[in-house]
């Protein structure tokens, strides 16, 4: 009988120092961040070297790791200073750097000895020969192309012992392995150097040109039959229902997309995947998917969810077209600062408008939850109020069950 199995790493995004701490507090085994250069998320809250060191210290104190994404496709003007950048990353205590460009990989290995290197998904690794090539070049881990399926991962695992990392949740790029020139073409922003304008998420007109000078607009129809302009946007990925397949295939690190996502998203997704992985690895023979995990992920979903390429080539159901089949119905409204057991008063720092009569849900690490209605509400001066409308306002109210500092609060969206 199969008992415990190897615990794969749950790797969460951390676009800011706050999100780094939240991801780790909510169960992530590792986080990936960006620096001030060489990353593909120029608009994320990227880290200074001092923030990298502080983040790495926090992670290591909690038994977690930090990786820095430096995975641009470099042009000549991007190469100067790369050696110094990697040395400072290494000296900040970062556990590894994620790179796709061969010249930058060589620079990291030769000019920052001791800094571990992971191959980015941008490099499109889709076979075990490629994995072995990069391992022979000195890389510790390969982040697979997003177009690789479960059966292919199993075959790779049989022929290589390099660490395998794979995306399991979050936004999917319409470009092969994230390499796209659409943004550069339409917006003069190079997606391969951190400037993606998300052009694939736009709606487009499509025209038939039967004869010279003629133009006829073609309009699609969504599942509801209503006319709609065309979209090339992929739905998001979710593999929460397939944790056993990922672990048994030999994936070492389960990667969550989203360095530009909110604290609400990071905490929720890290919480769900770490809980599911922990339960499966502890007792795989008796493991069962908890429907509450799926429901939890829908509370922060931005788009439809699918399994991407894991079980075959995506079809039209894997594209954003037509009316959404399911919508999130919660808003992130606050963070718990303190709880007084004697008075049953919780102190919350507000993040979004909420007030008396709202149904709210507290959630915390290890998948702790409870729901209640807000029956009273007081501001910092202990004055009774109906609502908390001001950003970062500190309020307190009666809480039916004990909660912990660092727990978060959601409210059901008003319709």
CA distances to 12, 61, 240, 329 from 263, rounded to whole Å, are: 11, 21, 20, 17
Output phi, psi for 90, to 5 deg: -60, -45
pLDDT values of the chain reduced to their tens digit, one per residue, 415 residues: 455 678 999 999 999 999 999 999 999 999 999 988 776 555 556 899 999 999 999 999 999 999 999 988 778 877 888 999 999 999 999 999 999 999 999 999 999 999 999 999 989 999 999 999 999 999 999 999 999 999 999 999 999 999 999 999 998 877 666 666 666 666 666 656 566 666 777 777 778 887 777 787 777 766 666 777 777 778 889 999 999 999 999 999 999 998 889 999 999 999 999 999 999 999 999 999 999 999 999 999 878 888 989 998 877 777 776 666 566 678 899 999 999 999 999 999 999 999 999 999 999 999 999 999 999 999 999 999 999 999 999 999 999 899 999 999 999 876 5
Helix, strand, or coil (residue 37): coil
Task: Copy the structure tokens of residue 186.
Answer: 């339409």
pLDDT at 404: 96
pLDDT at 291: 96
Task: Copy the structure tokens of residue 261.
Answer: 């996502």
The residues with which 185 forms a beta bridge, in sequence order, are none
pLDDT at 225: 67
Task: For residues 284 and 282, give the distance between their C-alpha atoms in angstroms, rounded to a whole number.
Answer: 6
Output phi, psi for 6, to 5 deg: -60, 135
Beta-carbon-side half-sphere exposure of residue 317 (alpha carbons within 13 Å): 8
Instruction: Walk me through the domains of the chain, giving residue ranges and CATH numbers.
Output: 9-176+234-318 (3.20.20.380), 330-412 (2.40.30.10)
Task: For residues 37 and 46, give the distance between their C-alpha atoms in angstroms, rounded to a whole number.
Answer: 9
Task: For residues 315 and 322, give the distance between their C-alpha atoms in angstroms, rounded to a whole number.
Answer: 14
Task: Copy the structure tokens of residue 307.
Answer: 């399994």
pTM of the model as a whole: 0.88
Output phi, psi for 383, to 5 deg: -90, 135
């Amino acid at each position: 009988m199969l008992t415990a199995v190897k615990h794969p790493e749950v790797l969460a995004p951390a676009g800011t120092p706050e999100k780094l701490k939240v991801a780790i507090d909510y169960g992530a085994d590792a986080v990936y961040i960006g620096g001030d250069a060489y990353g593909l998320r120029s608009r994320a809250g990227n880290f200074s070297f001092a923030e990298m060191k502080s983040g790495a210290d926090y992670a290591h104190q909690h038994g977690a790791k930090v990786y820095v994404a430096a995975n641009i496709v470099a042009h000549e003007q991007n190469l100067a200073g790369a050696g110094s950048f990697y040395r400072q990353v290494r000296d900040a205590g970062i556990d590894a750097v994620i790179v796709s460009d061969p010249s930058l990989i060589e620079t990291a290995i030769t000019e920052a000895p001791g800094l571990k290197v992971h191959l980015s998904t941008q490099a499109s690794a889709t076979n075990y020969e490629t994995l072995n090539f990069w391992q022979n070049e000195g890389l510790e881990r390969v982040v697979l192309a997003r177009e690789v399926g479960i059966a292919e991962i199993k075959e790779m695992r049989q022929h290589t012992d390099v660490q395998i990392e794979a995306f399991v949740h979050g936004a999917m790029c319409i470009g092969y392995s994230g390499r796209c020139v659409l943004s550069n073409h339409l917006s003069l922003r190079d997606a391969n150097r951190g400037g993606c304008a998300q052009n694939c998420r736009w709606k487009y007109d499509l025209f038939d040109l039967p004869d010279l000078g003629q133009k006829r607009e073609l309009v699609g129809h969504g599942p509801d039959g209503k006319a709609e302009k065309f979209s090339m946007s992929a739905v998001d990925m979710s593999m929460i229902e397939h944790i056993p397949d990922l672990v048994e295939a030999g994936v070492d690190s389960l990667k969550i997309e989203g360095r530009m996502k909110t604290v609400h998203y990071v905490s929720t997704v890290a919480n769900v995947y770490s809980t599911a992985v922990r339960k499966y690895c502890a007792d795989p023979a008796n493991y069962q998917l908890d429907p509450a995990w799926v429901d939890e992920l829908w509370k922060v979903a931005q788009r439809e969810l699918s399994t991407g390429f894991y079980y075959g080539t995506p079809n039209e159901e894997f594209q954003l077209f037509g009316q959404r089949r399911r919508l999130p119905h919660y808003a992130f409204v606050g963070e718990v600062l303190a709880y007084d057991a004697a008075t049953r008063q919780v102190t919350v720092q507000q993040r979004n408008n909420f007030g008396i009569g709202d149904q709210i849900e507290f959630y915390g690490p290890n998948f702790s939850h409870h729901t209640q209605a807000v029956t009273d509400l007081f501001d910092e001066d202990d004055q009774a109020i109906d609502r908390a409308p001001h950003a970062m306002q500190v309020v307190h109210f009666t809480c039916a069950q004990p909660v912990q500092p660092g727990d978060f609060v959601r409210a059901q969206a008003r319709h």
